[in-house]
Structure 1
Amino acid sequence: MSSFRLTYSTMFNPPDELHQAFEAALARAQAQLGQRHGLFIDGEEVFCQAQFASRSPIDSEQVLGHFQLAGSEEVDAAMQAAQAAYPGWRRTPWPQRVALLRKVADLVEQRVYDIAAVVALEVGKNRMEALGEVQEVADFFRCYADDFERNNGFDHTLPDDPVAGYRSHNRSVLKPYGVWGVVAPFNFPFALTGGPVAAALVTGNTVVMKAPSDTPYAVRLLSDCLRDAGLPRGVFNFITGSGSVAGKALIEHPLLAGITFTGSYHTGMAIYRHFAAGAYPRPAVLEMGGKNAAIVTRHADLDRAALGIMRSAFGLSGQKCSALSRVYVEESVADTLIDKLLSHICQLKVGNPLQAGVYMGPVATPAAAANYELYCAQLHASAKVLCGGQRLLDGEMENGLFCAPTLAEAPVDHPLFSQEMFLPILMLARVADKEAALAEANRVELGLTAGMYGSEEEVAWFLDNIEAGVTYSNRPQGATTGAWPGYQPFGGWKGSGSTGKAIASFYYLPLYMREQSQTVVE
């Protein structure tokens, strides 16, 4: 397996050894379910009076573990610990911080199968998606360590001033802000905690990371990797609890210097406004979802388009912020594309994602399953449902949150072309030409990812005019999904992001620092 490198683009043909290792890790994970997991504050495990049970979306009767309901006191303790640790951590020579991050990466990679087994149980991902998420975190830690090293700790010597009789030396130095909060979403709890935590730590900030209420187990395992790598007490802290209590206490805490949040547009904008309304503005790195579109022209390779569309729309049951949710296809090839899409969807294996060969598991939360039923009822009443459109409740899916992959055709003004559903529901509309398709693709307020299938000239036109931060063209691996550290920077335009900079890009780490110009005259 040494020649196989797992990314979201290579996950479709793994070696047999990968499956064998995952099966062994899954057995180990299942033997440890139901344990009690504490918070991690100032280097110590902390337990609260109130707990909650985390259950698997594969089978709601399966309790994965018992986690703590942190309140404002526990959040304050974590913030105070991070604040106390900050002076020592920011003064730690940056090569030492880089070395610790690389040690975390090594530990994540050593534990990739065991962590992925938990992610599969907790989120309902198939094994390849789960393994990809965990491996991505190892790559995040290495990527940011390499980037910080490549930039010499972001400490740059500038030319001396041309002052007669003196030597006037100048430098530009980027310095950390302080205590950084990380609030992760339920769909990528390990990766979208691990990536921002790596960036915040390597740049010299200390961290309080809040796990998503629906999927806290994976973040606890990240906390274990950070602890075992030898990071000093208080440099990172892990809390669980509700967004309305623990999350609110974190965001409103006076010691919070900056935050990275991944989640809904409405919550992200509320955080943004709160950060702007203080005594002075603070950095808020926000990724707020997408309503991602693909355009298919009459010149497209329709076989490639159908495969890429299917993979992006229904991977992780459509619960990726980058998932494809809208297709605009030129009228002359619409029927052919639909036939090819239906053929792919009919061959999708939907079921227990712990089993090899299953592509689509359940949705991750009861709220998502309820929303799926509401949207499908709306589609049955106002659109043409070409396949799917119902919950799956037979056999082993009876106690889970399984939903059929759904393809619906509707006019371009149907309201679900504008509403982020975050579900295995794909909307398709016929358009007169590529210009009409582009106008519709750009019409929504979000601009995270977008895809295009067409000729070389059409692709160039698409890249010049699409309003999205991550773009793909003629990609069978996924029409709008599949970004990986070191290969595709990931960040949104418009309502999908607050910074205009992308995760794992040339410009990401400076978001976690502020510049100081230093002039010293001899």
Structure 2
Amino acid sequence: MSAFSTPLSPATDLDGVMAALSAVAKPAQAFIGGSWVDARSGKTFDNHTPRDGTLINRIAACDAADVDTAVIAARTAFEDGRWTRLAPKARKQVLHKLADLMSAHAENLALLETLDTGKPIRDSRAVDIPLAINTTRYYAEALDKIYGEVGPTPDNRLSYAVHEPLGVIGAIVPWNFPLHMAMWKVAPALAMGNSVVLKPAELSSMTALYVAALAVEAGVPAGVFNVVTGLGHEAGDALARHMDVDMIAFTGSGPVGRQLMRAAADSNLKRVSLELGGKSPQIVFADCAALDAAAQNAAWGVFYNQGQVCTAASRLFVEASIKDAFVEKVIAVAKSIKVGDPFDPATQFGAMISERQMHTALGYIDKGQADGGRLLLGGHRVQTETGGFYVEPSLLDITADNVLAREEVFGPVLSVLAFTDEAEAYRLANDTVYGLASGVWTASLDRAMRATKALKAGLVWVNGWDACDITMPFGGFKQSGFGRDRSLHALYKYADLKAVSITFKA
């Protein structure tokens, strides 16, 4: 994998950046068993940038044969102990080296992430890549702090429990935060001593491939970390059905999550960890002492990353007595958001991932209005002259029976609903099949505590949105999935608990 020889500045030399990115993006082969390989079929698929719809490169379209090769490489590496039998200190050093290399190549990674996904370069530089690096460092540092336990026993017996790696982990990650979500799974799985086969989303493979090259340089042994590119219904399904994969760790849509569970059941009953969709509520009470901050969070809670966030606060519930005034504040924030070229450092709101996703968002805006919703802001495609996939921040006033109160849009569409009392707020907020994130804004400690109990979600934020980090578990209730990313809990899900009892002559 090529690398930039000197730092590049999109603000002053965009043509040079695009030329350099084109060089870095080739070749786009899969990484299996420590080698760059074409798909065995020779097939590829086109990879376009959402920025202007132009072709970036062609990605290896791996299928079941390539997945089998990758799983064999991963299993061989696991069984011969080249990684899992290393002392924890040695694995820690390698993962820290990987984090160091990711930091040294952070600009390259950020530029590739923006090229692949259309997200603003300011976010790739300040959020996505730094968080991916921090995740790698966190699990490098945590891996030698996982202890077993000794049980109470008779005098002639010693009983203890230890955490042992599962084996081969299949990680299937989404396109909205490609490298960040990949490292949420890859880093703890490697830290626990597993081998990994990573299947990035077909729309965003480049940073995963780049990090595979860095992993080799860091000292991750061949076969321990593999990246198999390809389409979900081919490479992803093959990974989920493989009889020698011990676990599938997935972030993505509910329908695909169900398919993965069926595949696991139809194959070897492999474990499945799912982080799925959301229809997250953000509740603003009239007693909120920081309405300007609440308005900022209401807007950015759904418009960040063009609304393509599983925890997007897509349902805004506002106490009726302040609703009109508060909505005006939210609209003012939304209007201030700068939509533009993702490579412009001043851009705050870039392109959607694909033409299909753009039309999905626009279609939901139409459906919301057909269901009686009142469009208050946006609702249109913009930047059409670029050829890219841009939808402006949009806001609709709806009622609880509107399609926008039920279905996940995964786009920059905010729905506003009124409530009259606390009980109604919680009832409306919980009236969804999802349960990923939720938030409440209030000056009352008593009400805040009641809200944390009442809201049915894996994440509850009070007087803030997305106010947590790698140290806290991330995952959902209900149809938002099960299993947790982040925190020490993520380490434990990539391990089995073995109980050992030794009887001896006392």
TM-score exceeds 0.5: yes
8 A contact 2:281–2:314 mirrored in 1: yes
8 A contact 1:65–1:217 mirrored in 2: no
8 A contact 1:189–1:218 mirrored in 2: yes
8 A contact 2:10–2:17 mirrored in 1: no
Are residues 1:84 and 2:76 paired? yes
Offset of residue 418 of structure 1:
0.9
Are residues 1:407 and 2:395 paired? yes
Amino acid at match of 1:84: T
Q: In the comparison of the two structures, how many residue pairs are matched?
A: 487
Offset of residue 358 of structure 1:
1.3
- Kindly tell me: are residues 413 and 36 of structure 1, through their superposed partners in 2, closer, same or farther at Cα, counting changes over 3 Å? same
SS state at 1:439 partner: helix
* 2-structure distance, mates of 1:25, 1:449: 40
Are residues 1:36 and 2:27 paired? yes
- Kindly tell me: are residues 401 and 28 of structure 1, through their superposed partners in 2, closer, same or farther at Cα, counting changes over 3 Å? closer
Matched with 2:420 is 432
* 1-structure distance, mates of 2:148, 2:303: 45
Q: Which of 488, 502, 505 pairs up with 1:506? A: 488
Offset of residue 28 of structure 1:
4.7
SS state at 1:328 partner: strand
Matched with 1:293 is 281
- Kindly tell me: are residues 234 and 25 of structure 1, through their superposed partners in 2, closer, same or farther at Cα, counting changes over 3 Å? farther
Are residues 1:383 and 2:373 paired? yes
* 2-structure distance, mates of 1:123, 1:130: 10
Offset of residue 211 of structure 1:
1.3
SS state at 1:121 partner: helix
* 1-structure distance, mates of 2:176, 2:202: 11
Q: Which of 439, 444, 448 pairs up with 1:451? A: 439
Matched with 2:132 is 137
Q: Output one character per residue of 1:342-388: Cα deviation in whole Å (capped at 9) or x when no partner.
A: 11111111111211221111111121111122112223333100010
Offset of residue 437 of structure 1:
1.4
Are residues 1:338 and 2:322 paired? no
Are residues 1:421 and 2:409 paired? yes
Are residues 1:364 and 2:346 paired? no
8 A contact 2:340–2:383 mirrored in 1: no
Amino acid at match of 2:353: A
- Kindly tell me: are residues 274 and 32 of structure 1, through their superposed partners in 2, closer, same or farther at Cα, counting changes over 3 Å? closer
Identical counterparts, % of pairs: 28
Offset of residue 29 of structure 1:
5.9
Are residues 1:149 and 2:144 paired? yes
8 A contact 2:21–2:111 mirrored in 1: no
8 A contact 2:440–2:461 mirrored in 1: yes
Amino acid at match of 1:422: F
* 2-structure distance, mates of 1:448, 1:405: 22
Q: Output one character per residue of 1:464-511: Cα deviation in whole Å (capped at 9) or x when no partner.
A: 211111121112xxx3x354213x432111111222xx3222322111
Matched with 2:4 is none
Amino acid at match of 1:441: A
Unaligned runs of 5+ in 1: 1-18
Offset of residue 25 of structure 1:
10
Are residues 1:517 and 2:502 paired? no
* 2-structure distance, mates of 1:432, 1:226: 54
- Kindly tell me: are residues 22 and 223 of structure 1, through their superposed partners in 2, closer, same or farther at Cα, counting changes over 3 Å? farther
* 2-structure distance, mates of 1:237, 1:498: 25
* 2-structure distance, mates of 1:383, 1:283: 42
- Kindly tell me: are residues 469 and 24 of structure 1, through their superposed partners in 2, closer, same or farther at Cα, counting changes over 3 Å? farther
8 A contact 1:29–1:114 mirrored in 2: no
8 A contact 1:140–1:194 mirrored in 2: yes
Q: Return the TM-score normalized by structure 2.
A: 0.92
Q: Which of 89, 92, 102 pairs up with 1:95? A: 89
SS state at 2:250 partner: strand
Q: Which of 471, 484, 487 pairs up with 2:469? A: 484
Amino acid at match of 1:213: E
Amino acid at match of 1:495: Q
Amino acid at match of 1:92: L
8 A contact 2:10–2:345 mirrored in 1: no
Matched with 1:169 is 158
- Kindly tell me: are residues 193 and 495 of structure 1, through their superposed partners in 2, closer, same or farther at Cα, counting changes over 3 Å? same
* 2-structure distance, mates of 1:99, 1:204: 13
Q: Output one character per residue of 1:172-222: Cα deviation in whole Å (capped at 9) or x when no partner.
A: 111111111000101111011112011111111101101111111121112
Offset of residue 276 of structure 1:
3.8
* 1-structure distance, mates of 2:11, 2:462: 35
* 2-structure distance, mates of 1:256, 1:434: 47
Offset of residue 390 of structure 1:
0.8
Amino acid at match of 1:138: I
Matched with 1:111 is 105
Offset of residue 514 of structure 1:
0.6
Are residues 1:55 and 2:55 paired? no
Q: Return the TM-score normalized by structure 1.
A: 0.89
Amino acid at match of 2:45: F
* 1-structure distance, mates of 2:415, 2:272: 32
* 1-structure distance, mates of 2:45, 2:13: 25
Matched with 2:66 is 74
8 A contact 1:25–1:113 mirrored in 2: no
Offset of residue 425 of structure 1:
0.3
- Kindly tell me: are residues 158 and 145 of structure 1, through their superposed partners in 2, closer, same or farther at Cα, counting changes over 3 Å? farther
SS state at 1:234 partner: coil
SS state at 1:181 partner: strand
Offset of residue 327 of structure 1:
0.6
Are residues 1:304 and 2:293 paired? yes
- Kindly tell me: are residues 107 and 195 of structure 1, through their superposed partners in 2, closer, same or farther at Cα, counting changes over 3 Å? same
* 2-structure distance, mates of 1:256, 1:183: 13
Amino acid at match of 2:475: G
Are residues 1:64 and 2:49 paired? no
Amino acid at match of 1:36: P
* 1-structure distance, mates of 2:92, 2:12: 32
* 2-structure distance, mates of 1:449, 1:128: 25
SS state at 2:270 partner: coil
Q: Output one character per residue of 1:111-154: Cα deviation in whole Å (capped at 9) or x when no partner.
A: 11110111111111112321211111111112112222222xx3
Question: What does residue range 243-322 of structure 1 map to in structure 2 within 5 Å?
Answer: 243-278=232-267, 281-300=269-288, 301-322=290-311
8 A contact 1:317–1:423 mirrored in 2: yes
8 A contact 2:241–2:267 mirrored in 1: no
- Kindly tell me: are residues 78 and 278 of structure 1, through their superposed partners in 2, closer, same or farther at Cα, counting changes over 3 Å? closer
Matched with 1:221 is 210
* 2-structure distance, mates of 1:264, 1:399: 27
- Kindly tell me: are residues 129 and 482 of structure 1, through their superposed partners in 2, closer, same or farther at Cα, counting changes over 3 Å? farther
* 2-structure distance, mates of 1:274, 1:468: 27
SS state at 2:335 partner: helix
* 2-structure distance, mates of 1:302, 1:437: 17
SS state at 2:367 partner: helix
Are residues 1:121 and 2:109 paired? no
8 A contact 2:198–2:226 mirrored in 1: yes
8 A contact 1:283–1:511 mirrored in 2: no
* Bigger Cα displacement from structure 2, 198-207 vs 33-42: 33-42
